[in-house]
Structure 1
Amino acid sequence: MNQAHLTVSQHITDDGVRVLALAGEIDHTTTAILRQALDPEDGRALDIVIDFHDVTFMDSSGINILVAANNAARASGSRLSLARMPESISDLLHIVGLDDVIALYPTLDEALEAKHAA
């Protein structure tokens, strides 16, 4: 059985938004990687935008991580947004109703612009 792979690259924009770019699969074997990337290293509560452009698969494990991350962001006064969702993952989020809870944007620029407008 092949184990899924997930890589995360991240940076903080000049105005303090953490951008996480994911590549690979999100399932029970990779959730620790995503969970660790979502935890702020310095304890600062920053708005987070996750770029899903290179994600090829996500199951309920990923949904659980996103729900927890969204709840943590709201509790700390920050926000979580998702950008560039592949259609299959966007459809999954729609089916479970997560697209009504977490903002989804077609492009990374639109997600970052929305952070400025808020």
Structure 2
Amino acid sequence: MAEGEMTGVERVAQPGRLSVVSTATDGVHVVSLAGEIDHETGDTLRQALDACDTPRPRIVVDLRQVTFMDSSGINVFIAAHRTVSEAGGWLRLAAPGEAVMRTLSIVGVDAVIDCRDTLRQALGN
């Protein structure tokens, strides 16, 4: 994890499906996910990425512990990227596992949304 102060830990869990831990590090909203992203957990992810009350939001999504992602996750990430970009901010995806990265690459999300190999890289400039 990058150096800096962490504040505002918020946990959202959907038993057995998707766990979300939200923190802030040096003004960056970090959303750490664990589990599966699919049509049943899409709303949980959408809520975790909602930064409508933040001017120029900066969001990093830590995907290290995501084991599966279908098109629902792709749609949520694209919509969040669009919203955050329109607000003058950015969205980065960090440390996707092989299966998740393959999904991102197949549909070309990695060409639209900045994907970094590690959380540290995603938190950097």
For 2:64, what is the secondary structure of its paired residue?
A: strand
Structure 1 residues 4 and 29, CA, compared in 2 at 3 Å: closer, same or farther?
Answer: farther
Q: Could you give the per-residue CA deviations for residues 55-109 of structure 1, whole angstroms, max 9, x where no partner exists?
A: 0100000000000000001110000000010011111111101110001111100
- Tell me how far apart the structure 2 counterparts of residues 18 and 98 of structure 1 sit (CA, whole Å): 20
Alignment TM-score, normalising by the size of structure 1: 0.89
Query: Does residue 6 of structure 1 match 2:18?
Result: yes
2:108 is aligned with what amino acid?
A: G
Among 32, 42, 50, the alignment partner of 1:39 is: 50
Contact between 2:51 and 2:84, CA under 8 Å: does it hold in 1? no
Structure 1 residue ranges (4+ consecutive) displaced by more than 3 angstroms after TM superposition: none
1:59 is aligned with what amino acid?
A: D
What count of residue pairs does the alignment treat as equivalent?
110
- Tell me how far apart the structure 2 counterparts of residues 78 and 31 of structure 1 sit (CA, whole Å): 22
Among 69, 72, 80, the alignment partner of 1:61 is: 72
1:40 Cα deviation from its structure 2 partner = 2.5
In structure 2, stretches of 5+ residues that fail to align are: 1-14
- Tell me how far apart the structure 2 counterparts of residues 112 and 34 of structure 1 sit (CA, whole Å): 20
For 1:32, what is the secondary structure of its paired residue?
A: helix
Structure 1 residues 27 and 4, CA, compared in 2 at 3 Å: closer, same or farther?
Answer: farther
- Tell me how far apart the structure 2 counterparts of residues 68 and 4 of structure 1 sit (CA, whole Å): 25
1:7 is aligned with what amino acid?
A: S
For 1:77, what is the secondary structure of its paired residue?
A: coil
Aligned to 1:100: 111
Contact between 1:4 and 1:29, CA under 8 Å: does it hold in 2? no
- Tell me how far apart the structure 2 counterparts of residues 4 and 67 of structure 1 sit (CA, whole Å): 25
1:23 Cα deviation from its structure 2 partner = 0.3
- Tell me how far apart the structure 1 counterparts of residues 119 and 70 of structure 2 sit (CA, whole Å): 22
- Tell me how far apart the structure 1 counterparts of residues 35 and 86 of structure 2 sit (CA, whole Å): 29
Structure 1 residues 99 and 33, CA, compared in 2 at 3 Å: closer, same or farther?
Answer: same
Aligned to 2:3: none
In structure 1, stretches of 5+ residues that fail to align are: none
